[in-house]
Amino acid sequence: MSLLTELLINATTGLLWGSVLGAASVGLTLIWGVMKVVNIAHGESILLGSYIVSVLLLFMGIDPLIGFAVAVASGLLLGFAIYWMNLHKIIGHVDVINLRIEMSTLLEMFAVSIILYNLYSFFTRSEPFGIGIWHLGPSSYVHIGYMSVQVNHLTAAFFSLVATFILYQFISRTSTGKAIRAVMQDSQAAALVGIDPVRIKMLTTVISIGFTAYSGFLVILYESAVVPSIAYKYAPLAFTIVVLGGLGSIIGTYVAGLIIGLSYGISKVVFGILVSKNASDPLALSTAFIILVLTLLLKPEGLFARKR
């Protein structure tokens, strides 16, 4: 295989994964951008969707294309519980969220993260859970020229794009979405024009966690199987992507996911040549955090920061 061919294949794979990463980070940019809630439990929220889809398929024979609806519903319920049990007393009636309050949300969500992680570890015994050989359509691969791409990877990337677009349209065009943006920009001013900030904060939490659980369906399509520790892979990447794309920007977050995925795919080939094939994967993942450092130094507001 020539170097150019390998680069093209890895770049394509990276973009497909980047699409999933972008969608998996959208829930974080929403809850962090609107409410200044530092959702450390983001990775575990993703796993909620992954585990529900897997369990429904393995033990009840329910197709993942149906199971993801149950995952979304579970995520919505989790978001509702998290808001009223963990966040309402901290941010519910606060107009201006300062650093102290933001750090309080971090600690609350850290506790949620530990609880969920240990529950996953207890019930799964930290063993892989997944969808096995399930795939959409008659074949598990699609052949494009000299490339063979997994159908599940294409499906996950496509569903990521569609879901992100739908959420963007909801936030941009509906009255509820405009209310969410208003609270994000100025909670006090939003209250003066009749918007209930408490209701909007609760709704934002529910939508954010629900969409994050949906992204767990995308992750299980891409990964085929998950273990609890995979939360520690996706959560840091999601924070990196949100910072790169611009806090609160849905489209910016999705595009940033593509950038991170592409950089991973290309750098994996480069490190495979310069170092070794075995070391290429962790080194390629580290490029995401190099990009994070550069972003914070050169453009801390992100590439697609929302104009206030």
Over range 180-195, report the average pLDDT: 86
pLDDT at position 143, please? 85
Judged against a pLDDT cut of 80, whether residue 1 lies above it is answered with no
pLDDT for 63 beyond 90:
yes
3 state SS for 199-252: HHHHHHHHHHHHHHHHHHHHHHHHHCEECHHHHHHHHHHHHHHHHHHCCCCHHH
Mean pLDDT of all residues belonging to the chain: 92
Residue 114: other Cβ atoms inside 10 A: 13
What's the confidence (pLDDT) of residue 192?
84
**What pLDDT does residue 294 have?**
94
Rounded to an integer, what distance in angstroms lies between the CA atom of residue 33 and that of residue 191? 18
Q: How confident is residue 10, by pLDDT bands cut at 50, 70 and 90?
A: very high
3-state class (DSSP) for residue 63: coil
What percent of the chain shows pLDDT beyond 70? 99
Burial status of residue 136 (CB atoms within 10 A of its CB: 0-12, 13-18, 19 or more): middle
**CATH domain 12-128+149-298 topology:** ABC transporter involved in vitamin B12 uptake, BtuC (1.10.3470)
pLDDT tens across 248-272, in order?
A: 899 999 999 999 999 999 999 999 8
CB neighbour list of residue 262: distance below 8 Å, 6 or more residues apart: 11, 14, 15, 18
Residue 34 is predicted with a pLDDT of 81
Q: Provide the pLDDT for residue 163.
A: 97
Q: Which helix (H) or strand (E) holds 70?
A: helix 64-82
- pLDDT of 133 reads 87
214 and 71 Cβ atoms separated by less than 8 Å:
yes
- What confidence tier does 84 reach under pLDDT thresholds 50, 70, 90? very high
Which pLDDT score is estimated for 306? 62
Tell me, what amino acid is at 38? V
Gyration radius of the chain over CA positions: 19
Give the global pTM. 0.94
The 10s digit of each residue's pLDDT in 97-138 is 888 999 999 999 999 999 999 999 999 999 999 998 898 888
CB-side neighbour CA atoms (13 Å) of 169? 6
Contacts of 18 (CB under 8 A, 6+ apart): 257, 258, 259, 260, 261, 262, 264
- What backbone torsions phi and psi does residue 149 show, to the nearest 5 degrees? -115, 135
